[in-house]
Structure 1
Amino acid sequence: MSDLFPPTQLLYSVPFSLSLVALYLGLIILVAERLKRYYSSNSELTRKVVHIGTGNVILLAWWLKIPAWIGIGAAIIAAIIALISYFVPILPSINSVGRKSLGTFFYALSIGVLVGWFWPIEQYQYAAIGILVMAFGDGFAAIIGQRFGQHPYTVLGSQKSWEGSLTMVGISFIVTGLILASVYGNLGIIWLIAAIVSLNATTLESFSTLGLDNLTVPIGSAAVAFFLCQWWIS
């Protein structure tokens, strides 16, 4: 069994690892703020830059083997900041999308839940699947849907597009398959698991409102991938 980031002795100190993560997140927010300045009419674009870019933090945490308590603590702090920003616009590039949503709060919360679940059992790949399906799948689905969506549909009062939903299916499939292949090898069964995860993620995203998909999609995707791999691979 291979691993995208195989177990090694700790090569980096905790302060260095945290500094690297903080630097990365700072750059993401800086890029988003710059984009907001030049594309002030499209606040959704800047929010999705943060949404997609922030998701990669889970790969940094996996690579650096950051301890679970640090990941959970950082997620709690991020959730508190996001909750404050919901009421006070301290992070306009994240929240100014012309609608009230607790999505950023749920996003941070989902990272904490997944780190708390999979870090202690050293099954980092499932946390990565959950977060990256949300980051890339939902992120690009929103961008494609907004730009090219010509076939809308409505679920629970929320408007979606078939173009966006199909984008989420495709990207979620690729993300899940590549992560599982990096760990288990290129087994045929992993692509079936990836297909099930991607369809489940898209369904959860379609039926979630008020930003709740930022919680249901990561946890739902990680859980489905984990249990299917336990049944069919382990």
Structure 2
Amino acid sequence: LCVYSYVAILLLISEKVLKKHPFISRKFLHIMVGNIFFILPLFEHAWVMSFIAAAPFILLTFLFSPYSPLKTVTATSAAGHGLGLVYYSISWTILAYVFFDKPWVISIGIVAMSYGDGFASLIGNIYGRHTYKIFQDTKSIEGSIAMFFFTIVMGVVALVYYGQRINLPVIAGVALVATIIEAITPKGADNLTVSLSSALLYYAIA
């Protein structure tokens, strides 16, 4: 219930308060959903977190995507890659099920995807002056730096929150790999690849 209430509030703000700025609205939603990592301890079972709290958003985000048979596209959902939010939901569902007993690992994946990727796009679009193109997607050095920086900062926040040891070289390494993967992953699929690779890498080397 907490998850649905929180996301509903974010959607309300995105669609009503920020509706005149669809790109900003989408990035606000993308970033702020990442705060879900703070409430992971509320879940007592993996199946509840993954299949009740996370998985339903796969269908919901698809129904609000440009590919929806219901034609319910909003300005916010249309402002980014068509299936970006769907990939977002899929990655959270997978992480919730696989790493349920290690919420800090889930959190690393979530913050890399939400704060890291979200600010990369936001800052890259607003301040990006030095661009490069990989697989037809235009990125910026400024956006990539933001990705690296915010993944480190929020990774530290997540680990402190869960009482885990802070190993900055490890976090920086995860952030660097996440930044590279974000740069080379095309068409919104980074919402899937960044989160999963970040969590798996942190789990493997931490």
TM-score with structure 1 length normalisation?
Answer: 0.80
- How do 1:40-55 and structure 2 match up within 5 A? 42-55=21-34
- How do 1:74-223 and structure 2 match up within 5 A? 74-86=53-65, 87-88=67-68, 89-90=71-72, 92-97=74-79, 100-119=81-100, 122-182=101-161, 183-186=163-166, 190-223=167-200
Matched, 1:72 2:50: yes
Match of 2:11 in 1: 29
Provide Cα deviations, 1:44-88, integer angstroms capped at 9, x if missing partner. 11111111111212321x231342212222322111122222224
Q: What residue ranges of structure 2 are gaps of 5+ in the alignment?
A: none
Q: Distance in 2 between matches of 1:35 and 1:142?
A: 21
Q: Distance in 1 between matches of 2:110 and 2:75?
A: 20
How many pairs are equivalent? Answer: 201
Match of 1:10 in 2: none
Q: Distance in 1 between matches of 2:201 and 2:104?
A: 13
Q: Distance in 1 between matches of 2:81 and 2:27?
A: 16
Q: What residue ranges of structure 1 are gaps of 5+ in the alignment?
A: 1-17, 230-234
Provide Cα deviations, 1:166-221, integer angstroms capped at 9, x if missing partner. 000011111223333443334xxx10001100011011111111211000000000
- Which AA in structure 2 matches 1:144? I
Q: Distance in 1 between matches of 2:126 and 2:23?
A: 11
Max Rg structure: 1
Aligned-residue RMSD, C-alpha:
1.7
Q: Distance in 2 between matches of 1:27 and 1:181?
A: 26
Provide Cα deviations, 1:119-163, integer angstroms capped at 9, x if missing partner. 1xx111000110111100111111111111111110111000110
Q: Tell me the secondary structure at the aligned position of residue 184 of structure 1.
A: coil
Residues 176 and 197 of structure 1 are in contact (CA less than 8 Å); yes or no, is this contact kept in structure 2?
A: no
Q: 1:224 to 1:156 in 2, by over 3 A?
A: same
- Which AA in structure 1 matches 2:63? I
Match of 1:4 in 2: none
Q: 1:71 to 1:94 in 2, by over 3 A?
A: farther
